[in-house]
Structure 1
Amino acid sequence: MRKIVILTGAGVSAESGLGTFRDKGGLWTRYDLSEVATPEGFARNPALVHDFYNARRANALDASPNAAHAALARLQAEHGGVTLVTQNIDDLHERAGSRDVIHMHGQILRALCAVCGARWDAPRVMGPRDACPSCGAAATRPDIVWFGEYPYHMERIAEALAGCDLFVAIGTSGEVYPAAGFVEEAAGLGAETLEINLKPSAPGRFDRVIAGPATQAVPRWVAEVLGG
């Protein structure tokens, strides 16, 4: 049985109504990322940061998994040996049925105490005065990896990449490190590489490219892997 590592990005959730960084007129374009997606921005204006992530949380909660999420859940269930890593902070993979999803950039539905490091399920709306349930500090933030912070679970991801036969990147631009380096890491260890995206991220980076919307391309590829 081939061991498969799959990395998903914003393009997988875009067709569920969750915008990518590069969507014109989208949520991200209306904010300065240095103000809402950095520790420094949170220290300067926590209310602004909470307003931004409250909007993103509401968007995620109101969205539904799409055919790409469902196909990847089917692959996990029927193939085995599939490690699913996501750059996305929504829970659409889990709601589609995927298990043990590695969220390298955190989760919008989780909260983190900036003082003691406690984590818990986030309410729909968070604010600067929210007290940590563990230490009582009014320093709660979304459990999100911001720019300048180190992604979660990197040792586990590295272990999966070292043991995989196939690395698949789906719906990701391939521009943000360290995730952008996963394809070279896997290829250097002998794995086959595949990109599924609206268009190739860069010529020659992957052994194979499947172009098209995730809701169409991913179910076709999963059917190919599973033999129908």
Structure 2
Amino acid sequence: MKKLVVLTGAGISAESGIKTFRDSDGLWEGHNVMDVATPEGWRKNQELVLDFYNQRRKQLHEVQPNLGHKILAELENDFDVHIITQNVDNLHERAGSSKVLHLHGELFKVRSIIDKNNILDWKIDLKTGDLDANGFQLRPHIVWFGEDVPALEEALVITQQADYFAVIGTSLQVYPAAGLVEFTLPNVPIYYIDPNPATIKNLSNPVEIIPMNATEGVQFLREILMKRV
């Protein structure tokens, strides 16, 4: 079975109603991302950061996977599908995808401020005073700007195993995730789905641009891939 590796970004979640800061001058739900998505923001105003992610967590309880998520899950019937996502929601999993790697963390998890490997499932509000077993404050399990991306090495390995590589709903502006496409093996077809696609440079691979939103583009991608089964 051929391996399909898919890198997804905010565009696919936006169609389920999850807001993105990509197109709004650095504002995310009215907040500057540097205030709510950096270690400096956490140190400056912990209550603001906790409240911000509590609101995102509540929203995640209210939204549903869209057709794009569902088709990617259905493609597991014909391909060995690995999802590498920049998104912190669980919509891929809820749609049925069985191999999902989160580069930037997960909203429904928290971790110790001292031990980054002490990760807990968490679906309710996180507050000051919520502590790990050793008495240290818990924080959102989110990779903030300026922090290392622990899952990157695994993502590189998966990328290099791809027979087909798809990029869906991402501006390819956030690194290191945006650089994954450069680690595909030569001649691996790349499919880039985005209504406003960025320019992909320095690749010898065949690249097909699909200038559609995620839901429409994934349907089109399925048609292409099913001809290759």
Same fold (TM over 0.5): yes
Aligned length: 224
Aligned identity (percent) is 40
Contact 2:8-2:167 within 8 A present in 1 as well: yes
Distance 2:211 2:18 in 1: 20
Q: Are 1:101 and 2:79 counterparts?
A: no
SS at structure 2 position matched to 1:202: coil
Distance 1:26 1:48 in 2: 17
* CA-based RMSD: 2.1
Contact 1:116-1:135 within 8 A present in 2 as well: no
Distance 1:24 1:160 in 2: 32
- 1:127-177 CA distance string (max 9 Å, x none): 122122x2122x111100000111132221111122212211000000011
Q: Are 1:120 and 2:123 counterparts?
A: no
Contact 2:57-2:123 within 8 A present in 1 as well: no
Q: Cα distance, 1:25 vs. partner?
A: 9.2
SS at structure 1 position matched to 2:15: helix
Q: Which residue of 1 aligns with 2:145?
A: 147
Contact 2:84-2:100 within 8 A present in 1 as well: yes
Q: Which residue of 2 aligns with 1:196?
A: 193
Distance 2:24 2:44 in 1: 27
> Any gaps of 5 or more consecutive residues in structure 1?
none
> Any gaps of 5 or more consecutive residues in structure 2?
none
Q: Cα distance, 1:91 vs. partner?
A: 0.3
Q: Are 1:84 and 2:83 counterparts?
A: yes
Distance 1:122 1:26 in 2: 27
Distance 2:167 2:125 in 1: 32
Q: Cα distance, 1:121 vs. partner?
A: 1.1
Larger % of helix: which? 1
Q: Which residue of 1 aligns with 2:217?
A: 217
- 1:2-53 CA distance string (max 9 Å, x none): 3221100000010100011134499705112222111121122110100111
